[in-house]
Amino acid sequence: MVSSGLAMALMEETQFDERNGRIMNPSFAEYHVPVHMDVPDIDVIWTDIADPHTPMGAHGVGEIDITGVAAAVANAIYNATRKRVRDLPTT
């Protein structure tokens, strides 16, 4: 799912035609999403600590990790350039 966060931060953009309000990239043929070669190696770390708030102690591993990725990319760009990026995707 980190790859989805990277896609949101760097690639995915819905393009609108301002004249008629139509979406200009309505299919995956025109909408850029990452493929295997676009995603760097990602280390996944599992913990053996049970979650006391769930019946079986399980942790969720879904889309919760998407939320911080775009902010991390924007902060990395700021640290490198001292320019704050506030629009996604960052270009």
Q: Which of 12, 13, 18, 63 is catalytic?
A: 63
Has 13 been annotated as catalytic? Answer: no
Q: 44-58: buried (b, 16+ CB within 10 Å) or exposed (e) per residue?
A: eeeeeeeeeeeeeee
Q: Are 90 and 80 in contact (CB under 8 A)?
A: no
Residues annotated as part of the active site: 63
